[in-house]
């Protein structure tokens, strides 16, 4: 039997990413993304709206590189796998939390009109550029290939 554990979300960050390091020095970043759903009533008029909040965890080089770009209100595309953690709280009650462990992250152009920034764990960003041109300038000159957008 085949198994599949994939999550893809496109939404806005509810807060700036929080960067920290594990005791053994592994970088990890966490943030929350809000997604909205709207529907129409039977008569075709606006029926309602619901917002879901998704906790995201980003590890390694991706966490270090992307955390400074993940700012509150900014649009982001996240792809990864669902993972549920459990622990016992100080009050002795067992608690659970389901998160998306990000594998691919695209920081989309936001209010400032900046170009998207992409990073995945299988395709890390090359930090050794042949040109000394600032990254922001290089990014804005690049054309976006519509076939590279994952949605």
In a domain, 43, yes or no: no
**Residue 39 — very low, low, confident or very high, per pLDDT cuts 50/70/90?**
confident
* Pairing of β 27-40 and β 117-120: unpaired
In a domain, 1, yes or no: no
- How many domains does the chain contain in total? 1
Question: pLDDT per residue over 50-89, tens digit each?
Answer: 999 999 999 999 999 999 999 999 999 999 999 999 999 8
Residue 146: which region, alpha, beta or left (left: phi > 0; alpha: psi -120 to 50)? alpha
| Radius of gyration from C-alpha coordinates of the chain | 18
Q: Which domain holds residue 115?
A: 7-36+49-148
In a domain, 41, yes or no: no
Average pLDDT, the chain: 80
Whole-number percent of the chain with pLDDT over 70: 72
In a domain, 112, yes or no: yes
């Amino acid at each position: 039997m085949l198994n599949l554990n994939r999550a893809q979300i496109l939404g806005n960050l509810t807060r700036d990413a929080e960067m920290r390091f594990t005791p053994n020095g592994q970088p990890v970043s966490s943030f929350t993304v809000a997604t909205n759903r709207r529907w129409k009533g039977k008569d075709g008029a606006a029926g309602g709206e619901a917002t879901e909040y998704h906790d995201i965890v980003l590890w390694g080089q991706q966490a270090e590189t992307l955390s400074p770009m993940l700012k509150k209100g900014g649009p982001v595309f996240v792809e990864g796998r669902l993972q549920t953690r459990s622990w016992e709280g100080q009050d002795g009650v067992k608690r659970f939390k389901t998160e998306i462990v990000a594998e691919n992250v695209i920081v989309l152009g936001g209010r400032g009109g900046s170009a998207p920034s992409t990073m995945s764990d299988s395709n890390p960003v090359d930090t050794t550029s042949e040109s000394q041109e600032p990254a922001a300038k290089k990014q804005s000159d690049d054309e976006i290939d519509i076939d590279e957008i994952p949605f």
